[in-house]
Structure 1
Amino acid sequence: MLDEVKRIILVLSGKGGVGKSTVSTQLALTLKESGFKVGLLDIDLCGPSVPHILNLEDQNVHQGPDGWVPVYMDSEQRLGVMSIGFLLKSRNDAVVWRGPKKTSMIKQFLEDVSWQELDYLIIDTPPGTSDEHITVMENLRNVPQCSAIIVTTPQQVAIEDVRKEITFCRKTGIPIFGIIENMSGYECPNCSECTNIFSSGGGESLAEISKITFLGKVPIDPRVGMLAGKGQAAVTELPDSTTSKVFIKLVKMLSDSAVSNS
């Protein structure tokens, strides 16, 4: 099912609550708005937030002749989404599964979803280095077009957890495309001044120490937070925001690296 996918991007972090799902959804939406055909796979089985963020909670997954058909956000089918959230009756339903059942579900997501031809497949992962990550790594280890974007916040406690994720990627052979520092200050929606609520520059310093490309700082912006649940891209709704500029730059970097590797 992944043979027609040109590039796979894993969004990872060793820390929960750093905004991986926000980064994943905004990256997917920015790629879509840039003219690419995109898939977004949510493998956070215990906390599937992608359907809510993209305003797709009332959608259902259907079985087609070639496998599961993703839920599409647009009539042109330029952004397809798959999540266990579509298989649950309610947002409040808990997925209480042991490791083997989680492993089986993720393998099914990777092997049985009919993505068809994609420019990018974004995979939103749970925090840590658990069964879900090991299963993904085992299935994608030999996929040449696979790489990881690591998300952190500026605080030292987050940096220490994310450092372990970098080690995990290197041990499992997944190339790291770069690091994003999320929640990097608070951007006032009225004057655009950015105030460092937490510490600043932790992600950038981690990238420098680890010799990994630094992809940019995404601030806390209440206007971007209000887009969650609407399925709207910051690049179209808030084109002058810092968040939009970071994601536009990230998409350009991904495009340029694809050209250089071809």
Structure 2
Amino acid sequence: MYIFNIISSKGGVGKSTISAIIAHKLSQLEDTLLIDLDFCPSQGRIFQIKENKRIIKSNKGLVPIKISNNNKNDDSITNTTSNTNLYLLSLSQMIDKDKCLSWRDTKKNKIIKLFIESIDKYKYIVIDNTIEDRIVEKEYINNNEIDNNINRNIINLLPKEYKIINILVTTSQSVNTCNNYYFNKDDKDITNSHINNTINIYGVIENMSVYKCRYCNDCINIFSTGGAEILAKNINSKFLGRIEILDDIFNNKIDVIDKLINDIYGFSINFVRFFNQFRTVSKQSKLL
């Protein structure tokens, strides 16, 4: 059993989209649970989940939303093919979109615990993590005396039989990669674990690296390049590769993610059917 923990130290780097792609690919093999720890409806929009579809509580934790045709919007592009192996637990599917929200850490900690109690039957788990949740997780661990090391991440609260694969997503700009490195380096009470042996980063993905012209195929460096590779060296991690700035990321084969899965499991799956299903989703949701 495997867990992909997708992290970053700032927003807007495409972490949710990469999480969705990895989760959908894994779900073609076995039951896969995608956990979204953000209040923003990123995963709900990517998979076009009906807004009134809610996650409910059972005596064994939470009941995830099944990514199937019945739970999607009528105009969803994903209605063409039902995926019976992909499930979603998202904070955004537990609240009303028009409701003003203010949760204390204690309440969010209880939800995180419920999330953890709901994962036992899944072969693969993909966690779309957030920056602020690492702070909440630290308090959760301390308050519940689960672990005295405040640098532990939510992943360490999960069953030990899972193999953890932490993936750091960033972009190419120097300001962003510096933010990733120094945020993790200096904020010792919260995230120092991401650059030491407590929690190992399996690899770094540089997203939205260059723009490839659709007409001439020339690559244009809109921003500075190479920052993520330097970051990977600084934290003694693998540089997994670069993903271009794509007009429609779900309609393009992404070799970086394909190689990532292949390196870990030793197999390769064709992305074509997946990308055809999501041909226009990134344009509709405006998520890259």
TM-score (norm 1): 0.78
| Residue 158 of structure 2 corresponds to residue 152 of structure 1 | no
1:252 and 2:267 aligned: no
Larger Rg: 2
TM-aligned CA distance change 1:223 to 1:198, over 3 Å: same
1:37 and 2:31 aligned: yes
Select the residue among 51, 59, 68 that pairs with 2:62.
68
Contact 1:189 1:222 survives alignment (8 Å): no
Q: Give the SS at the match of 1:9.
A: strand
Corresponding residue to 1:131 among 126, 132, 135 = 135
SS in 1 for 2:131: coil
Deviation at 1:172, TM superposition (A): 7.9
| Poorly superposed stretches of 4+, deviation over 6 Å | none
Instruction: Show CA shifts across 1:209-256 (max 9, x none).
Output: 3221111111110112xxxxxxxxx3xx43xx4xx2222111112214
Return the offset for 1:208. 2.2
Q: What is the aligned-residue RMSD (CA, Å)?
A: 2.6
Measured in 2, the distance between the counterparts of 1:29 and 1:182 equals 18
Residue type at the aligned position of 1:82: L
Q: TM-score, normalised by structure 2?
A: 0.71
3-state secondary structure, aligned to 1:15: coil
The amino acid that maps onto 1:68 is L
Within the alignment, does 1:53 sit opposite 2:46 as a pair?
A: yes
Deviations 1:59-115 (A, max 9, x none): 22234453322111146631111101111222x54432222222222122222x2x4
Query: SS of 1:174's equivalent?
Result: coil
Q: Give me the whole-angstrom Cα distance separating, in 2, the residues matched to 1:133 and 1:165.
A: 15
The residue correspondences of 1:1-262 to structure 2 (distance < 5 A) are 6-33=1-28, 35-45=29-39, 47-58=40-51, 59-64=53-58, 66-74=60-68, 77-90=84-97, 92-111=98-117, 113=118, 115-127=119-131, 130-134=134-138, 135=140, 137=152, 139-141=154-156, 143=160, 145-163=163-181, 164-165=183-184, 167-170=192-195, 173-224=198-249, 234=250, 237-238=251-252, 241=253, 244-256=254-266
Structure 2 stretches lacking a partner, 5+ long: 69-81, 142-151, 186-191, 268-288
Query: For this pair of structures, how many residues does the alignment match?
Result: 232
Contact 2:209/2:221 (8 A) holds in 1: yes
